[in-house]
Structure 1
Amino acid sequence: MYREPVITTFLPRVRTLAHQIASFCVACLALFPLFSVEQELPVDFRLNEQVIMIAAGPDLSASLQTTVFRPNGPGPFPLLIINHGKEPGEPHSQARDRFIFMATAFVKRGYAVMVPMRQGFAKSTGVYADHGCDMTANGHAQADDVFDVITFARGQKWIDDSRIVIAGQSYGGLATIALGTQSVAGVRGLINFAGGLRDDGNHCDWRSELVRAFGSYGASNKIPSLWMYGTNDSLFGPDLVARMHNAFVNSGGRARLHEFGAFKRDSHGMVASRDGEKIWWQEAEKFLREVGMPTEEIYTVAQAPSLAKSNFARVDDIDAVPFLSEEGRAAYREYLGKMTPRAFAVSASGAWCWAEEGEDPDTRALATCARKSAEPCQLYSVDDYVVWQGKSVTGDSGVIASKLAPAPGGGANDSTGASGASGPGASM
């Protein structure tokens, strides 16, 4: 159900269960009111990233904000569609999902990738369909939007409409398995990453409702699936996962369950982690081969440039960090205990922000710091080293743009050479 991030402002951390759960967080000090103008992060030219709108709904009156990644060339490419989860609160406030690490892995293997935001989420229009504790209906309602995206994709000349696989994480995993109750032309397999939906309101027995939903989906299942859950998933523990899977297969559904053990602090966000591919790819590769989808790497995607290490100070020298108050130094001390990837940004006005895990923590730290500071923000440290050059900056918040300005002509090229490089943007 839930999505990134854990956010802290001013006072002790407030934890929010998220689809890219507790480890993918941002913490900041806001010295000034939040500005209404947000930083517009650039798309990733290494992956030919685009954001398009796809018609959806019974009369196609809604538009789904959809991120597209693809290799260079005209195609046709096999297609992966990735379905997102849901964070607490208003769906329209949820940022655009990208699943950049999974998208990169599939573009390398010649796939086009689409990540649609369903109705009511992010900048998609339409109304979010909430059926309360009726988990079966919730999954079907979300699957309807996914079906419309598939219909659109199959009409594109650059898509191989006979080779499609659908994946989903958390609420998106529930929607993906619900989709499998339909006969969908061209869809060969489904991958469920930590799928489910949690509802703590209205005395909802959401665990039993999930078991009932998966049993219903299994009785009408038409597409084989791979399920992947970790043993330290904070939302869907091993006992519940076993009940959901048993209900599905005992009703006639085709699904292989892979439980991969513990992953960092919370396996619920494994697929969104930089280190997740080492966990999910082996089983995904086996499944993709079983359903006749390609698995060999045939393209090279340029590595995003790394920030240069400076000799300004040791990363653990808290007193060396410029501009910080005592509160800021306490935050930096906390930051040093976080997992990598991570980044810490500061400004001359005393604002600070750190981010860990997830997509581009350096970009997220800078962007969030810039929204909370009257002065431009700069990165002080990344992962386990200092990048600060001992200079402050003046002017507007162009630091983010200059850091991420893409090289023209970049993209995913064939394995004889790669070009282009910009750090990808990031959803928070």
Structure 2
Amino acid sequence: MRGVEESDRSAPLRVKAIALAILLIMSIATTTSAISGDLVQERQYLRAKIGGQDVRLEALFVKRADARGRLPIAFFNHGRPAYREMTLDQSLTANDPGINLLADMARRGWLVVAIHRRGYGLSDGPTQADSPCAVDASMSWMNADADDIQASIEVVAKRPDADPTRMIVMGGSAGGAASLALGARNPPGLAAVINIAGGEHWTGCMALRESIPVDFRTLGSRSHIPNLWLFAKNDLNHPLDQIEVMRAAFAGAGADLKLVLFEPIGEDGHTGMYSIVGRTQWLVELDSFLRAHNLPTWPISNVDVVLQRLQWPQSQRAFVQAYLAAPGEKALARTAGKQNASYQTALTLDDARKLALDACQRKGEPCTIVMEDDRWTGSP
């Protein structure tokens, strides 16, 4: 699957985005390998202590290949079910929710850490049973998941490439709920919580429906960390009235919260948030949020650098900014006359190059690749 954008000075900017997949496969031993040329991944076990017990948690680290020194840490938390497999592998075509986001965040300057919580993947411990329909069930479940994240932070903080004074925690669905619970603990160094379609799921349980305002007031009253919540309006797990109940209770208790609601994404906005269409929309909001809180993302000054190299006017600024913010593997091709260009996203960088060239050459001129991901590859 692929997405395309084209720029033509004689025509309005056109944008098309179609779903992309980047996936994970499992490894038992600790290994480090290159992915996509500009990123490296490392698979290992974290030896953590949770509730007085020694626990082994499966973990995946992703960062830029050219990264040096201590990096800010982005902890990403899976939903339920978890990632089927724990490594980025672009040769596979199926999609595990959330995994394709790891590369997007690593390219923004983060050391990205994804764990399998207890009972998932090759991590120790039993998987938590589905929450019973009881008033305190969901908070208990969220806090248990937050215990795993907090224990992971304590281990990762000791890495020579990790800066525990600059951290964010983010997650989707149940992972987003776990991130909220961790944020309410205000661990040192945690600068932001990113909740992607996460919260309590009240369908079919009146006790839980009644407990949500109480739970989210409790979380909001304890949280002193900026929160960004991202939901689609057609989230089948969290209808709009439930999102509003969670928001009102959390923010009403004094929490620092920005909620962004997107127009419907696909048939179910809950899973649609991970598609190329979803990520294309909310990564822009995430970048703005990170900049507002002086947290790393790609520099907006890069737009002017690319415009200068393309020898394009400021009228093409939106096209260049959209390319730099776009998720996934991407390539930008330009005609020899420098008037037209197209970019494509794809499962692999090789496919992105081919698709970008094909789209560009529909203009009737030969084209060359001038950018791959965020790297300039054209002539100086």
TM-score, normalised by the number of residues in structure 2: 0.64
Q: CA deviation at 1:275?
A: 2.6
Output one character per residue of 1:393-422: Cα deviation in whole Å (capped at 9) or x when no partner. xxxxxxxxxxxxxxxxxxx9983569xxxx
Larger RCO of the pair (alpha carbons < 8 Å, separation 6+): 1
Cα offset for 1:83?
A: 0.8
Unaligned runs of 5+ in 1: 1-22, 26-38, 306-340, 343-358, 361-411, 419-428
The percentage of counterpart residues that share the same residue type is 24
Instruction: Specify whether residues 197 and 413 from structure 1 end up closer, same or farther in structure 2 by C-alpha distance, changes over 3 A only.
Output: same
Q: How do 1:20-31 residues align onto structure 2 when only pairs under 5 Å count?
A: none
Q: Quick check: 2:265–2:277 contact (8 Å CA) kept in 1? A: no
Match of 1:54 in 2: 46
Structure 2 gap ranges (5+): 1-18, 87-95, 303-323, 332-344, 349-371
Deviation at 1:144, TM superposition (A): 0.7
- Check conservation: 1:229, 1:259, Cα contact below 8 A: yes
Write the mapping of 1:9-408 to structure 2, written as runs, cut at 5 A.
Answer: 45-46=35-36, 47-56=39-48, 57-59=50-52, 61-72=54-65, 73-87=67-81, 95-96=85-86, 99-130=98-129, 132=132, 133=134, 134-198=137-201, 205-296=207-298, 303=329
Which one has a larger percent strand, Structure 1 or Structure 2? 2
8 A Cα contact 1:226 1:257, kept in partner: yes
CA gap of 1:218–1:303, structure 2 versus 1, over 3 A, is: closer
1:124-151: per-residue Cα shift (whole Å, max 9, x none)?
1122344534111111111011111111
Tell me which amino acid in the other structure corresponds to 1:188.
A
Among 415, 422, 427, the residue aligned to 2:375: 415
Residue pair 1:196, 1:210 contacting (<8 A) in 2 also: no
| Equivalent pairs, count | 278
Q: Provide, for residues 307-328 of structure 1, a one-character-per-residue CA deviation record: whole Å limited to 9, x for no partner.
A: xxxxxxxxxxxxxxxxxxxxxx
In the aligned structure 2, how far is the partner of 1:53 from the partner of 1:236? Answer: 33
Residues 1:263 and 1:157: Cα distance change in structure 2 (over 3 Å): same
The residue type equivalent to 1:76 in the other structure is: R
**3-state secondary structure, aligned to 2:64:** coil
Distance 2:268 2:164 in 1: 36
Contact 1:65 1:116 in 2 (8 A): yes
Aligned residue identity for 1:49: Q
Q: Structure 1 CA distance, aligned partners of 2:328 and 2:252?
A: 45
Q: Give how far 1:226 is off.
A: 0.5
CA contact (8 A) 1:50 1:67 kept: yes
RMSD: 3.6
Amino acid at match of 1:53: Y
- Once the two structures are TM-superposed, the CA of residue 198 in structure 1 deviates from its matched residue by 3.2
Preserved CA contact (<8 Å) 1:136 1:216: no
Contact 1:119–1:126 under 8 Å retained in 2: yes
- Aligned to 2:284, what secondary structure does the other structure show? helix
Cα distance in 2, alignment partners of residues 140 and 121 from structure 1: 17
**Cα deviations by residue, 1:170-202 (Å, 9 ceiling, x for unpaired):** 10111111111112111100010111243768x
Aligned to 2:366: none
- Aligned partner letter, 1:117: H
Once the two structures are superposed, residues 362-410 of structure 1 have per-residue CA deviations (whole angstroms, 9 ceiling, x without a partner) of xxxxxxxxxxxxxxxxxxxxxxxxxxxxxxxxxxxxxxxxxxxxxxxxx
Kindly tell me: are residues 196 and 302 of structure 1, through their superposed partners in 2, closer, same or farther at Cα, counting changes over 3 Å?
closer
Shift of 1:108: 1.6
Does structure 2 retain, via aligned residues, the 8 Å contact 1:102–1:271?
no
Query: Which residue does 1:335 correspond to in 2?
Result: none
Q: How far apart, CA to CA, are the structure 1 residues paired with 2:377 and 2:142? A: 43
CA distance in 1, matches of 2:20, 2:268: 10
Match of 2:276, SS state, is coil
Q: How far apart are residue 303 of structure 1 and its match?
A: 4.1
